[in-house]
Structures are given as structure tokens and as C-alpha cells.
Amino acid sequence: MDAIHLQDLAFYAFHGLHDEEARLGQRFIVDLTCRLDLTAPSRSDRYEETVCYATLTRTIEKVVTGSRFNLIERLAGAIADAVLEAEGRIREVTVRVHKPGAPLPIAAGRVSVEITRTRTAS
């Protein structure tokens, strides 16, 4: 299966368990891998036969900035669901959400969660 990758998409949002995360917000980084058949566009060079990267980015942005979640696990799942709903060509999506400002008891580091969802047959 072929893949389209969008990496290092940065958003400012208000997710987290702690009151200060909800009040102050922080940066979240999203990576997306979409698995689909790219045979047609790789041969035809026709935009209409692939997935619009800008549309994918707007779909992700709407979820990240338009909702509030306690867990980045839930955020990643919501992004995956929204991408599959928005684009019927995508068979499988992997979402990685990075939380560089996660409250950790050390001076550096970041947390990320990765979720993969596959389109179910309808």
C-alpha cells in the first residue's frame, strides 16, 4: 500500500488534564501517514486522483483547535476518525501526536502517542 506523509504540523491548543494546560494552552505537533492506492495519480499526474494535502491539514487543525481533550490518546483518535471520514480514498491512517510541553519530572523530553485506524468495510 502506498502512503502520503504529513509531518511536523504544529498547532497551539488547550489539551491536558491539568488546569494550567486548559488555561494557558501549549504546542502540539502532529504527524500523519495515510495509506491508500496511489497507482492512478502516479501514472496520470492528475490532482483529482489523489488526496489534497491542504484539506487533510485543515481537517487536522479543526480537530486539534476546535475541541478540548484531557488525553492526547483521545486527540489522536479523533484526528484519525476525522481523516477517515473526510477522505474516502484513505484506507488506513496513522496519527502521531507529540506533546513537547508535557509535564514531566525532568528538564527535557517530550511525549507522543501513535494510533492507527483502518477503514472498516461498509
User: Each residue's pLDDT tens digit in the chain (122 positions)?
Assistant: 899 999 999 999 999 998 888 889 999 999 999 999 999 999 999 999 999 999 999 999 999 999 999 999 999 999 999 999 999 999 999 999 999 877 776 766 778 999 999 998 65
Name which of 97, 92, 90 is nearest 117 in CA terms: 92
Q: Which residues are catalytic?
A: 99
**58-89 pLDDT, tens per residue?**
999 999 999 999 999 999 999 999 999 999 99
Cα 26 to the chain's mean position, in Å?
A: 16
Q: Which domains does the chain have, with CATH numbers?
A: 2-92 (3.30.1130.10)
Q: Kindly provide the residue ranges of all beta strands, DSSP E only, lying in 1-122, ordered along the sequence.
A: 2-13, 26-36, 92-99, 111-118
Task: Report the alpha-carbon angle 117-53-79, nearest 5.
Answer: 30
Per-residue pLDDT, 101:
75
Helix 72-86 and helix 53-66, axial crossing angle in degrees, nearest 10:
140
Per-residue pLDDT, 100:
87
Per-residue pLDDT, 107:
67
Q: What is the DSSP letter of 91?
A: S
Q: What is the pTM of this model?
A: 0.93
